[in-house]
Amino acid sequence: MSDPRQVRPLLRYEVHQIRLEGLGLYYLPLPKLNATQVHLLREHLRDRGFSIRVMGRRLRASAGATRLTVDPIGLSWSSGELLDAITPALPVLLSSAKEEIAGERLDPRFMYFTAKKLTGRRSEIQLFPRMEASRSWDELRKTGLCGLTPDEKSVIASLLHGAEGKVECVTDFMSDSSVPMLIGRRLYFSSLIPVDEFASSLLTVCQSSRRNSFLPRSSILRVALKEELDPKSAFGGLGEWCYLDYSKNL
């Protein structure tokens, strides 16, 4: 596997609204937002006639029949489409500077993952993707869609650079160890494939190929590492998909 920790081009944000019919919701993956951006977005929505409630870190906005939620981990959702409300704010959000992540925001959803040693060189990496977990994972597979964002794939590829052997995942292609699994009416496979193949074939909301792999529903990867995890290297090159500076927290 080529070394993803070498200098990487900065990722550009792309708008991809996802409709999950089974949940009755529209989703819009956003950059991981810092405090300034949350304030800017709150004022933008207020100027457009939305009533705003702050629920913990989340913004709840309502105007007429429109109800939407913005979570600064990088996701907005609503029972109605989101583009008219959110996308006009994107130019100012994307021109913002990165900010150091405050201590109180050091929870795994902002940090992308946690990791723990198992036995020998085996480690367990718990990922915290915006959409590729739990109920939304099921609905994404049923509809043939994907919610993994480019920054999430970049972090995963960097973490797995120090891994060897194979990893358990879900694929839309068959390998030697694959077991068929029907999700809705779509056929997938529970597969054990080489780490480098998994990292390179991960489907994202922005990119697909003829052979695609997906995180397991649990978003847990168990891998054998050739070297210690280097969290700092995982956060290079995230570009417009992340406006948090992790350097003083690693």
Measured CA to CA, the distance from residue 200 to residue 71 in angstroms comes to: 28
- pLDDT for the residue 197: 95
Measured CA to CA, the distance from residue 80 to residue 19 in angstroms comes to: 9
DSSP H helix total and E strand total for the chain = 8, 16
Measured CA to CA, the distance from residue 23 to residue 134 in angstroms comes to: 12
- pLDDT for the residue 9: 63
* 44-92 tens-digit pLDDT: 999 999 999 999 889 999 999 899 999 999 999 999 999 999 999 999 9
pLDDT tens sequence for the chain (250 residues) = 445 444 456 899 999 999 999 999 999 999 999 999 999 999 999 999 999 999 988 999 999 989 999 999 999 999 999 999 999 999 999 999 999 886 655 678 888 999 888 887 889 999 999 999 989 999 999 999 999 999 999 999 999 987 899 999 999 999 888 999 999 999 999 999 999 999 999 999 998 788 999 999 999 999 998 777 777 778 888 999 999 998 776 6
* 139-162 tens-digit pLDDT: 999 999 999 999 999 999 999 987
- pLDDT for the residue 104: 53
SS3 233: helix
Inter-residue contact 155 to 5 (CB < 8 Å) = no
Inter-residue contact 222 to 121 (CB < 8 Å) = no
Tell me the domains of the chain and their CATH numbers. Answer: 18-99 (3.30.310), 108-245 (no CATH)
* H helical segments located in 48-187: 83-86, 90-94, 108-111, 134-143, 150-160
Residue whose entry in the numeric block shows the structure tokens 């060189």: 121
Q: Which of 78, 121, 98, 101 is nearest to 10 (CA)?
A: 98
- pLDDT for the residue 235: 87
- pLDDT for the residue 2: 46
Measured CA to CA, the distance from residue 146 to residue 72 in angstroms comes to: 20
- pLDDT for the residue 250: 63
pTM for this model (two decimals): 0.92
Cβ neighbours, 10 Å, residue 106: 11
